[in-house]
Amino acid sequence: MGIQSEPIDIQVDDVSISGTVLTPSAHVPGILFVHGWGGSQERDLARARNITGLGCVCLTFDLRGHEKTFNQRQSVTREQNLNDLLAAYDRLASHPSVDTAAIAVIGSSYGGYLATLLTRLRAIRWLALRVPALYWDAEWNVPKHALDREGLARYRRTSLTPTDNRALAACSEFAGDVLLVESDQDDYVPHATLMNFRSAFVNAHSLTHRIIDGADHALSTDAAQKAYSSILTAWVGEMVVGDRLINYPHHSPRYS
- pLDDT, residue 250, reads 39
CATH number at residue 135: 3.40.50.1820
- Domain assignment of residue 13, yes or no: yes
Q: Treating both helix axes as pointing N-terminal to C-terminal, what angle do 191-200 and 166-173 enclose, rounded to 10 degrees? A: 40
Q: Treating both helix axes as pointing N-terminal to C-terminal, what angle do 222-236 and 41-52 enclose, rounded to 10 degrees? A: 40
CA distance 119 to 203: 13
* Cβ-contact 144, 76 below 8 angstroms: yes
| Prediction pTM value | 0.85
What 3-state class would DSSP assign to 6? strand
* Cβ-contact 16, 9 below 8 angstroms: yes
CA distance 240 to 185: 29
User: Rounded to the nearest 5°, which phi and psi values hold at 5?
Assistant: -115, 125
Residues in the chain: 256
- pLDDT, residue 174, reads 98
Domain residue limits at 101: 4-39+53-247
- Domain assignment of residue 47, yes or no: no
- Domain assignment of residue 48, yes or no: no
- Domain assignment of residue 252, yes or no: no
- Domain assignment of residue 254, yes or no: no
What 3-state class would DSSP assign to 188? coil
- Domain assignment of residue 155, yes or no: yes
- Domain assignment of residue 102, yes or no: yes
Number of domains in the chain: 1
User: Rounded to the nearest 5°, which phi and psi values hold at 154?
Assistant: -65, -40
**Amino acid at residue number 53:** G
- pLDDT, residue 244, reads 63
* Cβ-contact 96, 23 below 8 angstroms: no
- Domain assignment of residue 44, yes or no: no
What tens digit of pLDDT does each residue of 158-173 get? Answer: 999 999 999 999 999 9
Return the closest-CA partner of residue 27 out of 60, 55, 47, 3. Answer: 55
**Tens-of-pLDDT digits for all 256 residues of the chain?**
456 788 999 999 989 989 998 876 567 889 999 998 877 788 888 899 888 888 889 999 999 988 787 788 899 999 999 999 999 999 999 998 899 999 999 999 999 999 999 999 999 999 999 999 999 999 999 999 999 999 999 999 999 999 999 999 999 999 999 999 999 999 999 999 999 999 999 999 999 999 999 999 999 999 999 999 999 999 999 987 676 665 544 333 333 3
